[in-house]
Amino acid sequence: MFEMLRRILIGRPLHNKELTHQKLPKWKALSIFSSDALSSVGYGPEQIALTLSVSGLLVYGYFSYVFVAIIILLAVVTVSYVQVARANPGGGGSYSVAAANLGEYPALVAAASLFADYILTVAVSVSSGTDALISAFPVLVDYVVDIDLAVLFGFLMVINLRGVRESANVFVAPTYLFIGGILTLICFGLYHVVVVPGPLLPPESVVTQGLNGTILFLILRAFANGCSSMTGVEAISNGVPMFKRPEVKNAIATTYWMSAVLGVMIAGISFLIMHYHLLPLKNVTMLSHLAEIVFGRGWGYYYLQVTTMAVLYIAANTSYNGLPPLLSILARDGYMPRYLGSRGERLSFSNGIILLSAAAGALIYVFQGNVDRLLSLYAIGVFLSFTIAQTGLVVHWSRQRGTQWVSRLVTNALGAVVTGIVVLVIAISKFFSGAWMVLIFIPVMIYIFRSIRSHYSDVSEQLLLPAAELAKRMQQPRCGKIIVVVPVATPTRIVVETIRYAQMISKDIIAVHVAIDEEAGRRVAEQWRSLNPELSLEVIHSPYRLTIRPLLRFIAHLRKETAPEDVISVLISEFETRKWWHRLLHNQTGWILRTRLILQERVVVTTIPYHLTK
């Protein structure tokens, strides 16, 4: 049953040979890698307006300054990431760049930041996608979290467990349909602006109040929120090897295209929001509000809402392309559990995919799918990893000194400084509203990374020996003997089987019975004598009615009495029942005994199953 469901959802297992690196043409790569960046138009400009529309303060007029700053920042980041693609044609994100050029700690900071932001990307994108849906169909408002989780686990997780190739094709169309929709919205909007007289605005909305501390703080915060539009710009440079030849050139061209489209969309939407002086509405996104003004509530409106929803859900997929491979690299380097590094039956990094889904699901649940609150945590990690990657490249160019190395170094240095400043702005202006969580998360993750690595190196230090040494030990004659301990409850067929196995592996056999009361102890001892006069039975009296503790004590005692090269082998019989619930009718003493026994040195536990036939 379970197996069948799995085959239907995930598909048949794939052979190692089927792991081929698909090469993407530019138009396809653009849609796959840029859905994250482009979709942020769905919430980025809104976030600026949201921050600037605090009642009682006249700061909405600063909108234009903020969005110009965002566009400039986008240009700087784009140019910097073109350099990343150039310097790392092998792909690999900030972690690889930092590990190669800056050392362990910066690399781990980058890894932790990326970790946080990949999870947040999923949570934010899925929640925003559902917000777009709710704006169009308000009747669904009570099911926000349920829809979020259904999309996350039922769609994103499943499609990614199926593996990369399927996911690629699903994602191409919606991105282009979305771009088309937004550009049409902007064109129609601009036409409206020219032809139709603008709405009557309250005069204070266009007045710009003089700068002071509070207002500056609000503006910086609006800028910090707006920076969420820029997450995902790095995706292309991480996936250079997936492009058709010449990879680097194609990747760079695609990066420029993506940034251009993103810039136009941010500018257009921001301008229209400003023009119509949109203010936040409950359960309606600004993009929805804008589309309603421009298109009316007709086909154009619903087209835009549905494509926005689709592209936002798909944007979450960027993380699925990014985090599992990163985890596998971290696992290879020993910073994460090893099994995160292995490919599942469909050649995808299934453990990483499940981990990402679970973490994003937990975030969505805790924040109840509230985009505004999730965004408070967002962007800081992305910009931190931007800064580290750019800094890494500065070191890279200064070491490598290829063609144009000076201009490249300067470009990346500029990028590092600018994104570094952005990190500071975000950290300070959003500190109390959520950035503190990320700032705690990063050092905690680094501690975890390093603890895991230190455990693995401890283990291999204990286990790995030079081949010669291993061979020598293997061929040494073994001098100790095996002492078999057989716990006996009542003499039944199962005990006979167990004793006969014991006789096959050793001559030293000790049968032990724990007697809850004296009467029962005597009876078992008597039965035993009639059964096998040669094999004596040790009866342990347990007037406190414990069974496991006296046995453990007996074996600990036996260890002291025997030679250090001897092995104590405890045989535990276990019922294998025909129906699962029958298991509940037998006590779990065997299981508990086994778990406790293997904690003792020189003790080996053998399970002898007895298969009940009915």
- Stretch 98-117 residues interacting with a second copy (CB under 8 A): none
- Stretch 507-546 residues interacting with a second copy (CB under 8 A): 516-517, 527, 530-532, 543-546
- Stretch 543-562 residues interacting with a second copy (CB under 8 A): 543-546
End-to-end Cα separation, the chain, in angstroms: 23
| Residue window 449-488: x/- pattern of binding to a second copy, with contact defined by CB under 8 A | ---x--xx-xx--xxxx-x--xx-xxx--x-xxx------
**Residue 598 found at the interface with a second copy (CB under 8 A):** yes
Tokens, residue 452: 């895991």
User: Of all helices (H) and strands (E), which one includes residue 235?
Assistant: helix 235-238
Question: What is the rounded CA–CA span in Å between residue 3 and residue 554?
Answer: 44
DSSP of 481-514 = -EEEEEE-SS--HHHHHHHHHHHHH-SEEEEEEE
- Stretch 346-405 residues interacting with a second copy (CB under 8 A): 347
Question: What is the rounded CA–CA span in Å between residue 177 and residue 518?
Answer: 83
CB of 403 to a second copy, least distance (A): 37
**Residue 506 found at the interface with a second copy (CB under 8 A):** yes
Output DSSP code: residue 281: B
- Stretch 569-588 residues interacting with a second copy (CB under 8 A): 569, 574-576, 582, 584-587
CB of 561 to a second copy, least distance (A): 19
| Residue window 323-352: x/- pattern of binding to a second copy, with contact defined by CB under 8 A | --------------xxx--xxxx-x-----
# chain residues binding a second copy, by CB under 8 A: 80
Residue nearer to a second copy on the CB measure, 244 or 481: 481
CB of 614 to a second copy, least distance (A): 5
Hey, what amino acid is at 114? L
CB of 362 to a second copy, least distance (A): 17
**Residue 608 found at the interface with a second copy (CB under 8 A):** yes
Residue nearer to a second copy on the CB measure, 53 or 600: 600
| Residue whose tokens read 């994100």 | 93
Q: Which stretch binds a second copy (CB under 8 A): 112-120, 294-302, 402-410, 595-603?
A: 595-603
- For residue 246, whether the previous peptide bond is cis, meaning omega lies within 30 degrees of 0, is yes
User: How many other β-carbons are positioned within 10 Å of the β-carbon of residue 74?
Assistant: 21
Question: What is the rounded CA–CA span in Å between residue 330 and residue 166?
Answer: 26
Residue nearer to a second copy on the CB measure, 139 or 467: 467
* Binding test (CB under 8 A) with a second copy, winner from 55, 139, 504, 564: 504
Residue nearer to a second copy on the CB measure, 204 or 458: 458
> Is residue 61 within 8 Å of 51, Cβ to Cβ?
no
- Give Cβ neighbours of residue 565 (< 8 Å, ≥ 6 apart): 478, 479, 480
Residue nearer to a second copy on the CB measure, 211 or 470: 470
> Is residue 612 within 8 Å of 577, Cβ to Cβ?
yes
Question: What is the rounded CA–CA span in Å between residue 458 and residue 334?
Answer: 11
Angle of helix 380-400 relative to helix 405-429, nearest 10 degrees, comes to 160
CB of 442 to a second copy, least distance (A): 20
Question: What is the rounded CA–CA span in Å between residue 81 and residue 75?
Answer: 10
- Stretch 9-68 residues interacting with a second copy (CB under 8 A): 13-17
* Binding test (CB under 8 A) with a second copy, winner from 501, 540, 552, 596: 501
